[in-house]
Structure 1
Amino acid sequence: MRFELFVALRYLFARRKQAFIYIISAMSVLGVAIGVAALVVVLGVYNGFTTDIRDKILGANAHIIVSGPLAALTARPSDAEFDALRNDAPHLSGIDAVLKRIDATPGVVGSTPFLYAEGMLSSPRGVKGVVLRGIDPKTAPSVLSMLDNLTSGSLAGLTPSVEGAPPGVLIGNELAQRLGLTVGSRVNLLSPSGQKTTAGFQPRIRPYRVAGIFQTGMFEYDSSLGFISLAAGRDLLGLPPDQISGIEVTVKDVYKADKVAAELQEELGPLASVRTWMDMNANLFAALKLEKIGMFILLAMVVLIGSFSIVTTLVMLVMEKTHDIAILMSMGATKGMIRRIFMLQGTIIGVVGTLLGYVLGIGLALLLQRYQFIKLPPGVYTLDHLPILLDWVDIVVVGVSAMTLCFLATIYPARQASSLEPAEALRYE
């Protein structure tokens, strides 16, 4: 064992008369431990909430949206204009060909065409504006995970099984409760894109049947989002058979969506608009990231308070051990050795506090993760319990930050100890 480490451990654990310094040392360890534990738990809760929000957003939206020339008919161009557009981008002229090229891109898991529209949904109990998504029932489940977890009904109900029967619509549970709808209820969908008649403007109204009800936990989706088939959407909006608003794409790694999007942009050409889920929700996730930084700085103050206790402990120890320091220096100990003795003492306090904080924080996080004994009001939050997701990168950053603060707290007392003059310290002994 090195000389400096031996003396540092002896000063920390071999005292007999200095109970007050023991208490201050214990408080220093406890302060660091509480700060580390608080950071681990709070960052785990933050990661849990962020992941839950991300999964709910990606459950109702694709990782990548491809639009542009594919949606040109939505603007109702003339046949000549569409032919010119098709000549400028022949590789985008066929929907099936584009889907095949997208699916062949590395990292892509699935793709599906979609139609976007807004309308009014009416029932005997009221009327509500809805955002309608026309989807392909065969390929949409590979892109939109929420379609696999309907609370009632099924996706197959979007397509009528009997000729002449009304098509189906999927709605959120909040919308269903507001209008008193269940699976099988009859509703009417009104499209603002109507037609002019001799009596004036007449909107398109089509009967539908509620084929299923979903629940995402996101109020915006559950209260104002509806899914219909592509064919039903074109009929409601009065669009031609090959009209779509774009193509939704899902990728293998959601955090590499930007790289896949860049490859799709290069593959489909400059006329295509390729946006990722990060682009479409940039403000939300930027705000969440800023909140994480703020929480980290705020809770790091608890560790900083513990490091101040380390300064107090070491300063008092230097004052108490002035005689011992002078003797050690007169026996040949260098100033560097004395400095390292007290720096090691503070570092040991930091290591013990950090490890204890890990035990407390990770232990509490695992208990919350398993037993979920902290419940949340489901009407306020997107889930009914406190989510915990431990990120080992965050845990390492917390430990390194705590150790850094504890080490910095040792510099001043260690310099003061090494600057003592043996003759002055022993003059009055």
Structure 2
Amino acid sequence: MTGQFKKLSEEKVFKDPVHRYIHVRDELIWKLIGTREFQRLRRIRQLGTTYVTFHGAEHTRFNHSLGVYEIMRRMVKNIEEKEDWDPEERLVCLSAALLHDVGHGPYSHSFEKVFHTDHEHWTREIILGDTQINSVLREISDAFPKKVADVIGKTYDNKLVVSLISSQIDADRMDYLQRDAFYTGVSYGHFDMERILRVMRPTEDQAVFKQSGMHAVEDYIMSRYQMYWQVYFHPVTRSSEVILSKILHRAKHLYQEGYKFKLEPLHFNSLFEESITLKDYLKLDESVIMYYFQMWQEEDDPILKDLCDRFMDRRLFKYVECDPSTQMKIWPELLQLFKEAEIDPRYYLVIDSSSDLPYDFYRGGEEEERLPIHLLMPAGDLRELSRESDVVEAISGKKRTDHKLYFPKDFLEDQTTHAEIKKKILQLLMNQGG
């Protein structure tokens, strides 16, 4: 066991705009940060295409991962002051926090939907596979990589550790809310993290919060609610994500149809063939994707060319509000009219839905992640948050869903061809939007 938990001879410090400083004292963490798999996160934005809406949102998964590590470091320090912890358990926490997003791909969530990938799966593959990260983790013990992977997979034996990185109030969410608010320039995501950390108390299964800190927790819940609807689900960002998804769908369709690209999409071939390896996956980042999108602007296929032009030049689809119950009545007519106007509805008529559940209490048979936030009362008993907070009770279990219909308004306004059909389409769409 000697030498496994080495400290650096001198503390390393990252200057951070959110947490001011990020402190690294453990040799293991410093080595993990230096691996090629972790450095790849510098080339993947935290918020995907949100930069087209909020121009400051250029921060990366690398920024965020360091921030989650720093919050976890402070959480663990607080826990260690209240109970004895195995030094290896501490390193499991810190490593899982640092590496929790290492499996994200470029433009992660849109990318995952098109190619049916899962970043948590790839995170575990990176931790357990033939990688520099795995080699560094194995310096602790041969079993150590699996412990870290199990925390991320929510199967680790110590449920408290899992809750610190994945629950309704955890290190991950506390960092991304503050970080995303900072870089987008909005005020919604700010809350009193210092207070929350001070009133956090460890139990066997999860962290709970002293009742005296309830208002700080309320503020956190409402900040998350506002960030989802004002930033994460912003309709302009969703338009760019729709176009991004359609580019990838079109390129995949052309490849499978035997289309000859001017530039062979070597980085995509295994994705298109659904045979991607870990080595292939780790070669993908947003600089690679943007290179192909730029090159595909010169392709002969008019749909791929147009979609890439739109994405690169920010000529986004317009949208109208959409009520699915009434929209289904006009959908067949819209599809037919788009075809008659020679606009392929598979790529140019898209319903996009977003939904969020800001807070929920546990319901049998549902996601373990929805274990409730508990307050530690003065008498020592635990009370579920919404039972004490009128603010949280008002939004508990209430899933809000928003539907929008996206389309290329510029195509429809160009009435040099199919003028009457395009006028009819516009009328239908405008009526749909109220």
Q: TM-score, normalised by structure 1?
A: 0.22
The structure showing larger relative contact order (alpha-carbon pairs under 8 Å, at least 6 residues apart) is: 1
Structure that is richer in strand per residue: 1
Bigger Rg, structure 1 or 2: 1
Q: TM-score, normalised by structure 2?
A: 0.22
